A and B are shown apart, each in its own frame.
Chain A
Amino acid sequence: MKNYSILSCFLALSLSVFSAFAQLSVGVQGGYVKNYLNTSTGYLVSTQYAPATGFSIGIPIRYSVNKWLAFQVEPQLIQKNYRLNRTGSLDGLYQTTTNQYLQLPIMGHFSFGGARLKGFMNLGGYAGYWATSTNQGALFAFSPQLEDETDESDALPDYLLQKFNESYTFDGRKDRRLEIGLLAGTGIGYQAGRYNFFVEGRYYYALSDQQKNYMINQIPRYNQTYALQVGCLYQLTLR
């Protein structure tokens, strides 16, 4: 509930900022997201991070300055998921982390092309709040007697896998819940009357570590997110 309140505040703030201007468009967008956790497993063996997919939904609000330049904010909910895999003899053990961020991208929107069909490029930055996190996966059950019967060359049998699916409780000592970063996107849009339909590929590049600086020799963890999204904008006022 708290998360939805924050999203509403984002939206209200964005609208109030732009209400003074005339050429304003508001819409919806959503899409498919693939996130990479840019980090290192150090000297751990049989351990590797893999990207995971998710989704994003948002409310783009665009103020057009002229034919080729506009500014856009886009309060959104975006998932930045990843997966921790164990490999080799521990193949079958994994943890998929599903992270939901409330995010506010702010960008310059640069258009080029014809009157109806236009290409565009977005460049800007964003601030996000790490709202929720859940972990789902399978880990090695502590059952030494059963373990003795396991042949290391085989895949782990089900009885040695303990499955889990639970919410993550944020740790104030470690977790940095505010994320800032850069974004870049490119796509095409089609203008049909007051409606603008668009498809965009976007890249989010976190500049802030998911962790606070809580230990010496800390290995940073940065999100790197690719999104493929579609959306529609409605022009509130005609030029």
Chain B
Amino acid sequence: MKHLYALISLLFLILVTACRQEFPQINPPEKSVALTLTDEFDAFWTGMNNSYAFWDIDPTDWDAVYRTYRPLFAKLKSDDESSRKKGYTYYQEMTANLIDSHYTLYFKDPTLPAISPSNARILKRPSLHQPIPVAHYQKTIPANYLSAGAVTGVDTSKSSPGLLVAGKIKNTNILYFRFPQFALSDWYADPTSPAQAVVQYVFDELQNPDLDGIILDLRGNGGGNASDLDFLLGRLIDKSYVFGSLRAKAGMGRLDYLPWFDFTVHAVPGARPFTKPIVALVDMFSISMAEITPMAIKALPTGNGKLVGERTWGGTGPLTQENVRYNGGEFSTSVLARVYTSSLMFRYKDGKIYEGIGVPPDVEASYNGVALKTGKDTQLETAISQIR
């Protein structure tokens, strides 16, 4: 019987040690050593495999990308210029259908332009138009639509200066506010910034009980600091509210996610609810925070928010500066200075995810370039009509 026990125990041990799969050795993309273009591909592919936040809904078959492109990279020579160019086109092809509309590949090689799948996607929109020129906000709107006393300021902190404009729509008590990006809290905190006076004007007007409505002109707004969500909208509510949910990666697996959690606008202490109409004016160049903020406006508990304009860009997933907190998002490799990608998925309160799609307006107001050249802003006029 002892022999039988020993035999059974031995069989058990053999089964125990033989039947499980090995754990793969996965190196962080940042620390990968790339001697060949295949190594470069491996680091990039691995980073995406483990850090990209949208695998749950993204149509790209990342395994197929591996099987297709790794052999192609293996044929390329790292010291050959034409091979490098070929490799660049492979990166374009591999990432073409990624739905993350923040997604941008920045190469360390300055001769290689950044790759942005969403940029290529926007160029295919039937309603594609040029962004509205800054001169329109600087001259036409103050002259044709705003009362005397409107204020403007230029943010010079960025490489491309941005224009802020605020004032009252002519013959109304409707507040108009245009800003190029979300850096409101930064501008407000900097008394030396020309933009500070514009933000101060807006906040002062928000205290005006005679205000009949607000138009936030977010056309061409490239997004920015998520903290502005509370900083701006938190002044228009007296109770915090949830307008959607976010989801972060839990682990290395493509489908390893933590549960959805609330995306909340927090009320600024002492703020009073603004119950008059608030219109967010958006276009296809309203990106990121310029999409999230209108969605939060639309979800205001007081029900006075509305989106006017065009379907937005489609980059609604928030980013954080480091990817440790949410176990996903941005990374780099030895050749990619930055794989710029969202840290979180955002699902709006209607249950839909607008990443890669864009947020549709409540009231459609198409771009009218012909009218714009004559000084007539039909989109802004539609926004005004929603309040009047």
- Enumerate chain B residues within 8 angstroms of A148, measured Cβ to Cβ: 227
A45 touching B324, Cβ below 8 Å = yes
Q: How far is the CA of A50 from the CA of B315 in the complex (A)?
A: 36
- Enumerate chain B residues within 8 angstroms of A173, measured Cβ to Cβ: 255
**Which single residue of chain B is at the shortest CB-CB distance from A183?**
B12
Known: A42-B50, A140-B325. A220 touches B318 (CB 8 A): no
Interface residues on A, range: 35 or more
A44 touching B253, Cβ below 8 Å = no
The stretch of A12-20, A56-64, A73-81, A211-219 in contact with B is: A211-219
A222 touching B246, Cβ below 8 Å = no
> Is the C-beta of A139 less than 8 angstroms from some C-beta in chain B?
yes
Known: A145-B266, A164-B259, A166-B259. A41 touches B21 (CB 8 A): no
- A132 vs chain B, min Cβ distance (A): 15
Within 8 A of A (CB), among B240-283: 246, 248, 250-255, 258-259, 261-264, 266
Q: Using a Cβ–Cβ cut-off of 8 Å, how many residues does chain B contribute to the interface with A?
A: 49
Known: A209-B21, A216-B66, A222-B20. A110 touches B26 (CB 8 A): no
- B30 vs chain A, min Cβ distance (A): 9
Query: Which of B5, B24, B327 is the one whose CB lies under 8 Å from A110?
Result: B5
- Enumerate chain A residues within 8 angstroms of B26, measured Cβ to Cβ: 42-43, 217, 219
- Enumerate chain B residues within 8 angstroms of A123, measured Cβ to Cβ: 8-9, 12
- Chain A CB count within 10 A is highest, among B231, B325, B344, for B325
Q: How far is the CA of A220 from the CA of B22 in the complex (A)?
A: 8
- Enumerate chain B residues within 8 angstroms of A182, measured Cβ to Cβ: 12, 15-16
Q: Footprint of A on B, CB under 8 Å?
A: 1, 5, 8-9, 12, 15-16, 19-21, 23-24, 26-28, 46, 49-50, 62-63, 66, 185, 225-227, 230-231, 246, 248, 250-255, 258-259, 261-264, 266, 318, 320, 324-327, 344
- Enumerate 15 A-B pairs (CB-CB under 8 Å) in ascending A order: A44-B252, A46-B324, A47-B251, A121-B5, A123-B12, A139-B258, A171-B255, A174-B253, A182-B16, A184-B12, A207-B15, A217-B24, A217-B49, A219-B24, A219-B253
